[in-house]
């Protein structure tokens, strides 16, 4: 059956067309033609795939959550591309650049060698890769902006996941990823059971626009779970460029077994005189040197009543982002000073 014509307009002014059948979601239809839209849960619950439809209509079925796509936004034409199927030809505006849908994917494909994989807590792994030259014989630097992500392939499969780097670009092309384990996740199973040092891995990227904005204001970084990764990369980027601006990192987990990366964060604090760490556990043990409670509450306490309106970088689960946005609004921090990325345990898939 002939599909509907989907005309896509990107933030950088580029555009492209693809055909999508009424039976497919826009993301699935795009994938059938080699395009990779940005998405997270793929189930209509996280909002990562939200785009604006300016012409035509779609069918959302039952799946689009009212939490992430309230009635007011639906009336403005917003749709969730992971669950919306076209009812007619469409014109869609994307809040990101054409390169982020893999339009240039040939230009950004490369390979890496596995340097190591270790468990950091009951729920988190550190996965280290080294970017290689085109022939795969030599380590080679990979340029990226702290805060960006790569799509990583499980060797000998067509399974991809997207993860943010926690490292910064270096001459040897070494990269670090902090990855949350899921009980039955394919990537988690690969990291637990099948990864081998020296193995070659395909990757695409770097992608993403969740990066540091130039500013003289105080910066607050609020992280939940492995949403810590892009924020640590940004802080390391500040250290690398001798950006001595005042920065606060608020990071929390539930209990001591799930907490990770404390030593690395303490080292970063030592290297950055104007960085203040605020580490939290909801249920700490007696020997916990950080604070009790949530990172979001810590963020509120730090700035409440001070008159300081920091730039705020937020990465974590949807609920944590919403709670931090609420605190930002209570503190009077303007929307233009809030930069967010939802961390979804399943990552983006390709
Ligand atoms: S709502 Fe579409 S990817 Fe999560």
Pocket test for ligand 1, best of 30, 36, 43 (most atoms within 8 A of CB): 43
Could you tell me if the CB of 80 is within 6 A of ligand 1? yes
β-strand partners of 115: none
The structure tokens 């505006």 sit at 93
Supply the residue whose CA is at minimum distance from atom 1 of ligand 1: 44
99 versus 329: which is more confidently predicted? Answer: 329
The structure tokens 């054409």 sit at 98
Residues 203 and 223 in one domain: no
Could you tell me if the CB of 103 is within 6 A of ligand 1? no
Q: How confident is residue 64, by pLDDT bands cut at 50, 70 and 90? A: low
Query: What atom in ligand 1 is closest to the CA of residue 68?
Result: 1
Query: What atom in ligand 1 is closest to the CA of residue 65?
Result: 1
Q: What percent of the chain stands above pLDDT 70?
A: 93
- Asked if the model's pLDDT at residue 347 lies above 70, the reply is no
Report the pLDDT value the prediction gives residue 18, as an integer from 0 to 100: 87
Could you tell me if the CB of 162 is within 6 A of ligand 1? no
> DSSP string covering 251-289, please?
EEESSTTT---HHHHHHHHHH-TTEEEEEEESS--TT--
Contact 313, 222 (CB under 8 A): yes
Query: What atom in ligand 1 is closest to the CA of residue 44?
Result: 1
Domain boundary among 101, 121, 143: 101
- Asked if the model's pLDDT at residue 318 lies above 60, the reply is yes
Here the CATH number for the domain that contains residue 42 is 3.10.20.30
Q: How confident is residue 350, by pLDDT bands cut at 50, 70 and 90? A: very low
Report the pLDDT value the prediction gives residue 60, as an integer from 0 to 100: 85
- Average pLDDT of span 303-314: 97
Residues 128 and 92 in one domain: no
β-strand partners of 139: 132
Q: How confident is residue 348, by pLDDT bands cut at 50, 70 and 90? A: very low
Asked if residue 279 belongs to a domain, the reply is yes
Instruction: Specify the number of domains making up the chain.
Output: 3
Span 251-275, pLDDT tens digits: 999 999 999 999 999 999 999 999 9
Here the CATH number for the domain that contains residue 325 is 3.40.50.80
Q: What percent of the chain stands above pLDDT 90?
A: 65
Residues 112 and 89 in one domain: no
193 versus 41: which is more confidently predicted? Answer: 193
Here the CATH number for the domain that contains residue 166 is 2.40.30.10
Pocket test for ligand 1, best of 28, 39, 61, 162 (most atoms within 8 A of CB): 39
Helix (H) or strand (E) segment spanning residue 105? helix 105-108
Could you tell me if the CB of 230 is within 6 A of ligand 1? no
Report the pLDDT value the prediction gives residue 276, as an integer from 0 to 100: 98
Could you tell me if the CB of 53 is within 6 A of ligand 1? no
Report the pLDDT value the prediction gives residue 105, as an integer from 0 to 100: 46
Report the pLDDT value the prediction gives residue 7, as an integer from 0 to 100: 92
Could you tell me if the CB of 327 is within 6 A of ligand 1? no
- Average pLDDT of span 81-110: 80
- Average pLDDT of span 188-199: 94
Asked if residue 112 belongs to a domain, the reply is yes
Asked if residue 227 belongs to a domain, the reply is yes
Could you tell me if the CB of 37 is within 6 A of ligand 1? no
Q: How confident is residue 282, by pLDDT bands cut at 50, 70 and 90? A: very high
Query: What atom in ligand 1 is closest to the CA of residue 80?
Result: 2
Residues 111 and 153 in one domain: yes
Asked if residue 122 belongs to a domain, the reply is yes
Contact 3, 69 (CB under 8 A): no
Domain boundary among 207, 240, 270: 207
Give me ligand 1 centre to Cα 30, in Å.
15
Span 6-62, pLDDT tens digits: 999 988 787 888 889 998 899 888 877 777 788 777 778 778 889 999 999 999 877
- Asked if the model's pLDDT at residue 149 lies above 90, the reply is no
- Asked if the model's pLDDT at residue 184 lies above 80, the reply is no
- Average pLDDT of span 242-257: 95
Q: What is the CA radius of gyration of the chain?
A: 21
61 versus 72: which is more confidently predicted? Answer: 72
Give me ligand 1 centre to Cα 101, in Å.
15
Report the pLDDT value the prediction gives residue 2, as an integer from 0 to 100: 60
Nearest-10 crossing angle of helices 262-271, 228-240: 20
Span 115-127, pLDDT tens digits: 999 999 999 999 9
Report the pLDDT value the prediction gives residue 104, as an integer from 0 to 100: 45
Residues 179 and 92 in one domain: no
Could you tell me if the CB of 347 is within 6 A of ligand 1? no
Domain that holds residue 316: 219-342
Residues 226 and 338 in one domain: yes
Q: Is 134 exposed, middle or buried (0-12, 13-18, 19+ CB in 10 A)?
A: exposed
* DSSP 8-state secondary structure symbol assigned to residue 139: B
Pocket test for ligand 1, best of 26, 48, 346 (most atoms within 8 A of CB): 48
Query: Measured between alpha carbons, how far is 318 from 47 in angstroms, rounded to an integer?
Result: 9
């Amino acid at each position: 059956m002939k599909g509907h014509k989907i005309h896509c307009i990107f933030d950088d002014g580029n555009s492209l067309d693809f055909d999508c059948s009424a039976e497919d979601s826009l993301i699935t239809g795009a994938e059938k033609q080699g395009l990779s839209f940005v998405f997270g849960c793929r189930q209509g619950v996280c909002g990562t795939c939200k785009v604006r439809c300016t012409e035509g209509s779609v069918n959302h079925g039952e799946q689009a959550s009212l939490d992430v796509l309230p009635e007011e936004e639906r009336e403005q034409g917003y749709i969730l591309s992971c669950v919306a199927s076209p009812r007619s030809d469409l014109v869609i505006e994307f809040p990101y650049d054409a390169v982020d849908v893999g339009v240039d994917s040939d230009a950004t494909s490369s390979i890496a060698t596995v340097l190591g994989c270790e468990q950091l807590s009951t729920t988190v792994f550190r996965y280290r890769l080294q970017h290689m030259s085109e022939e795969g014989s030599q380590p080679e630097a990979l340029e990226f902006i702290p805060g960006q992500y790569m799509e990583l392939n499980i060797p000998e499969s067509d399974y991809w996941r997207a993860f943010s780097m926690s490292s910064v670009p270096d001459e040897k092309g070494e990269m670090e990823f902090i990855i949350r384990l899921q009980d039955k996740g394919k990537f988690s199973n690969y990291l637990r059971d099948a990864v081998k040092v020296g193995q070659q891995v395909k990757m695409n990227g770097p992608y993403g626009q969740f990066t540091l904005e130039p500013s003289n204001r105080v910066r607050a970084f609020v992280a939940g779970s492995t949403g810590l990764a892009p924020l640590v990369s940004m802080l390391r980027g500040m250290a690398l460029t001798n950006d001595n601006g005042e920065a606060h990192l608020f990071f929390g987990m539930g209990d001591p077994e799930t907490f990770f990366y404390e030593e690395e964060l303490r080292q970063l604090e030592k290297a950055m005189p104007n960085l203040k760490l605020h580490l939290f556990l909801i249920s700490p043990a007696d020997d916990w040197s950080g604070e009790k409670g949530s990172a979001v509450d810590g963020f509120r306490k730090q700035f409440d009543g001070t008159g300081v309106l920091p730039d705020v970088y937020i990465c974590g689960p949807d609920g944590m982002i919403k709670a931090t946005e609420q605190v930002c609004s209570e503190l009077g921090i303007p929307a233009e000073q809030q930069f967010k990325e939802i961390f979804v345990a399943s990552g983006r898939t390709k």
